[in-house]
Amino acid sequence: MSTEIANAPVTRSWRDIPQPVKPRAMSRGGRRRLFTSGLRTAAGVLIVLALAWGAWTLTKALGQNSRTMPAAAKAVPVKAPELKTNGVLNGAWLGRRLALPRNASLMELDLEQLRARLLADGQVQTATLTRHFPDRLLVSVTERLPIARLMAEWKGNRQALLVARDGVVFAGEGHDPVLVDNLPWLDGIKLARRNGELAPVEGLGVVGELLARAREADARLDDGTSPHAWRVISLARLTSDRELEVRTADGVTVIFSAHGDFFRQLAKLDFLWEAMAHAPERPARIDLTLGREVPVMLQTSLPPTAPAGATPSSASVKFSL
């Protein structure tokens, strides 16, 4: 039998029978298989998405990784370093201190070395240097706050230096001159040198504590115009007697005990200032080391008829507080 294929009839195979079945027509096992199939499909999609996200993140991270940057970073000179501080130092100081070579790129900088340069300045307590590719160097520092000053040899000159609470001595840069002038001088200390630099002053912790308490109790201590402003703090008897001697602007010597509660001693002192504000005699020495008993040595002025070379007579009173 021969037939023209052009007129071949359209025949249907069993494969043309639609196979999809609604879930409600399925058995419990079929629905369970359908559910697990869906679950597997969803899990597969999630895995693919997670892999795609991971690949994208990895690609992005590799693009930003510094290990891939040297070639680019070497080609770009670093800009002026940016300073972030909690104190008074500024960009000019930073530039001088770092002394970066010209046209240096970020990857050529030795950050540890630069950090050491910054920490060599006693005013800098901590320093962090961060590269931001391609051309930014961020410097973050925390500064020491001066609590007193002293006179010492510094780079061949005798000059006033600042002292922080931890005893570190530093030249100080960028501070307000008025504030510096109001800082008390330190006396009776022994300066030591270590590797050509001044070693930290011992005992400054007690002084710092006293000053902090005093500033809390009476703001006039930093007031240069106040007669009670503290001018000199002597640590001469700190080691032997655990006493601190403070000389005020009007020449009164106040002795504090390093053993006692500074807050109580300052309260007594404040009371005495008030009590003796209108007294005819000026106090010359106030001893706060004896607890409730506060001996006050008074200094009387010389009468106009006193011979030359005569010293003013003095008397003592004792306050029980």
**Contacting positions for other proteins (CB under 8 A):** 1-3, 5, 8-9, 11-14, 16-17, 19-21, 25-27, 29-31, 33-34, 37
DSSP bridge pairs for 246? 233, 254
Mapped onto helix, strand or coil, the DSSP state of residue 219 is helix
Q: Which two tokens stand for residue 288?
A: 């706060």
Q: Based on CB atoms, which residue is closest to other proteins, 5 or 99? A: 5
Edge-to-edge strand ranges of the sheet holding 136-143: 82-85, 136-143, 124-132
Closest CB to other proteins among 19 and 225?
19
Nearer to other proteins, 31 or 84 (CB): 31
Rounded to 10 deg, the angle between the 262-275 and 204-217 helix axes is: 50
Q: Do 117 and 129 contact (CB within 8 A), yes or no?
A: no
Residue 1 vs 71, nearer CB to other proteins: 1
Structure-token pair, residue 44: 């597969």
User: Taking the complex as a whole, how short is the minimal distance between the CB of residue 51 and other proteins, in angstroms?
Assistant: 19
Nearer Cβ to other proteins, position 25 or 71?
25
Q: What's the min distance (Å) between Cβ of 7 and other proteins? A: 8
User: What are the beta bridge partners of residue 198?
Assistant: 193
Would you list the DSSP string of 180-216? HHHSPEEES----EETTEEPPPTTHHHHHHHHHHHHH
Minimum separation from the CB atom of position 25 to other proteins (A): 6
Q: How far is the CB of 36 from other proteins (least distance, A)?
A: 8
Q: Which is nearer to other proteins, 8 or 99 (CB)?
A: 8
Residue 12: which residues within 8 A CB-CB, separation 6 or more?
none
Contact by Cβ (8 Å): 298, 316: yes
Between 3 and 320, name the residue whose CB sits nearer to other proteins: 3
Q: Taking the complex as a whole, how short is the minimal distance between the CB of residue 52 and other proteins, in angstroms?
A: 23
Task: Give the closest residue to 207 by CA, choosing from 148, 266, 120.
Answer: 148
How far the first Cα of the chain sits from its last, in Å, is: 138
Question: Measured from the CB of residue 18, what is the shortest distance to other proteins in angstroms?
Answer: 8
Closest approach, Cβ 21 to other proteins, in A, equals 4
| 3-class DSSP state of 310 | coil
For 225, phi then psi, to 5°, come to -90, -10
| Residue with Cβ nearer other proteins (11 or 240) | 11
Shortest Å distance, C-beta 28 to other proteins: 8
Instruction: Round to whole Å and give the CA distance between 119 and 99.
Output: 14
